[in-house]
Amino acid sequence: MDIDWGYFLKTLCNALSEGSIYALIAVGYTMVYGIIKLINFAHGEVYMIGAMVSVWLFVDQQLHLAIVIPLAMLICAALGLFLDTVAYKPLRNSTRLAALITAIGMSLILQGVVQLITPNYHALPVDTTATVVGLDKVEALAEPREGAEPVAKVRPDQSRPILDNTHPAFVGVSWRIKAGEDPVTVWLPRAAVRVEQGLPAALDTSVVGDVEFATPSQPDTLEGEPAVSVFRLPLKDVLVWITAFAMMGGLHLLVQKTKIGKAMRACALDQTTASLMGVNVNRVIAFTFMVGSAMAAVAGILYSIKVGGGIFFRMGYYPGVIAFAAAVLGGIGHLKGALLGAMLLGFASSFWQGYANWGLHALVPGAGSKDLSPYSFAFCFLVMIVVIVFRPYGLLGRAGADRA
């Protein structure tokens, strides 16, 4: 069997980057859950705001990345502090369910606020902004033809169109014709729609180096020369890995070597005892929220570097849930566990996307054009469910850990 090593390495790069981003989000979940036993549902939104802020600073304000990273971390740390102080701190003594519902509420609030103040990013699935050329054509279509009744009048000023890019030949353009009704979708030939990328992909073309792989199993292609599969190692992936591992290392040192880190570990073990020993538990919790949020901000920046699009108010939801799954998978409360779990899910997701269809067609001859790649997140969720049901204490955790 001939293996396309270039493709494999590309998938590997994606997996490492995806895992790095999940890891940075997951540490926030795992630290907060370790101390106050709360699934901080709004954590995914902190990540989303980190990405938003970084795009704003980097693209609109033209700041250097070396300034953008600490600034975004600072802003998100403040947001984390705000979340804890305003939403969670008053509920320390109420039920865990109340705190969880509050967390869901904060998640909705943050999404709603971001959605309201960033209308440009409104519900665009892939690209950040879009201009549709030839609206007159759409209007013309809606005009009655011979023997046809008009169904809808498109009012392009009503709301921004939503684009669907899933089809190779056509682009689906949806408008909400009348508020409250379902959007109407018109499928236009790709040529009629011009899509502008929102983020300048400054880092896109930079390449650390080309690594060439020969696949000698195909000697008879093109006058008997071996086919060459070229793999280019993208700079942005390298940047993602270095930043993520530096941050994780720094966090490890913070938790293991500093006084506040010791206090955090003490609170995770037993809050009452820690407070009796003179630890200001509330301050430690607030600090934990700040550190976790700053990490999520870095994850947001790295995502916008790596992907460069898809930055909108709901982007935090899936990565948030998957990062929580990663934290549980590794064993909640363990930093190393979060890293391990995130990497495993990053690999699961990327390799599913890269190879699920290939595997399907290799195993099931009659599979036809069935596309399994959209199920990569479903696969991650499945992993999470299996872990929670069968090994709730995670890979690195101990049996008997709290799971209620």
Partner 1 sequence: MKQLLRNDWAWLGLFVLLFMVLGPLPPAFGLGAIAGDFGVQVLLTIMIYMIFGLGLNIVIGYTGLLDLGYASFMAMGAIVVAAGLVLTQQPAGETLQAPLGDLRLTQEQRELEANANAGPVVVQYRPDWGYDVVSGAEAVLAALEAQEAAGPDAEPKTLSVQPYAGLVLPVGQKSAKGTHPFGSTGGFLLLLAIAGVVCAAFGVLRGIPTLRLTGDYYAIVTLGIAEIVYITIQNEGWLTGGAYGIKLDGETIPHLFGADPNVAQGGTWWFNFYYVVLVALVFAFVFSKRLELSRLGRSWAAIKADEVAAMASGIDVKKAKLLAFLASGFLGGVGGGLYALKLTTVTHAQAEVFESIIVVCFLVFGGMGTIRGALLGAAMLQGLAEFLRLLSDPFWVRDHVFFLAADSELSIPNEARMLIYGLMLVLLMRFRPQGLLPPRAGGDPPSKQQQATWRLAETPLFRVGGKT
Q: Rank residues 176 and 232 by Cβ distance to partner 1 and give the closer one.
A: 176
Is there binding between residue 116 and partner 1 (CB under 8 A)?
yes
| Interface of this chain with partner 1, residues 128 to 147, rule: CB under 8 A | 137-138, 140-142, 145, 147
Distance in Å, CB of 240 to partner 1, minimum: 25
Could you tell me the smallest distance in angstroms from the CB atom of residue 100 to partner 1?
A: 5
Window 356-385: residues binding partner 1 (CB under 8 A) = 369, 371, 374-375, 377-378, 381-382, 384-385
- Within residues 158-197, the interface with partner 1 by CB under 8 A covers 164, 166-167, 169-170, 172, 178-180, 182, 184-189, 192
Among 92, 96, 194, 283, binds partner 1 (CB under 8 A): 96
Answer yes or no: are the C-beta atoms of 22 and 319 closer than 8 Å: yes
Among 70, 112, 209, 250, binds partner 1 (CB under 8 A): 112
Is 82 a binding residue for partner 1 by CB under 8 A? The answer is no
Give the nearest distance from C-beta 57 to partner 1 in angstroms: 24
By the rule CB under 8 A, 117 interacts with partner 1: no
Amino acid letter for position 130: A
Beta strands 170-175 and 184-189 are antiparallel
| CA angle in degrees (0–180, nearest 5) for 160-162-164 | 160
Per rule CB under 8 A, count of chain residues that contact partner 1:
77
Residues 35, 100, 302, 55, Cα dihedral to 10°: -130
Give the footprint of partner 1 on residues 271-310 (CB under 8 A).
none
> Interaction with partner 1 in 305-324: which residues (CB under 8 A)?
317-318, 321, 324
The owner of tokens 């033809």 is 145
Token readout for 255 is 């938790």
- Of 31, 68, 294, 325, the one binding partner 1 (CB under 8 A) is 325
Q: Does 395 bind partner 1 (CB under 8 A)?
A: no
Cβ 393 to partner 1 shortest distance, Å: 11
Residues 8-47 that bind partner 1 (CB under 8 A): 37-39
Q: Give the residue with the Cβ less far from partner 1, 109 or 201.
A: 109
Lookup: tokens for 219: 């000697």
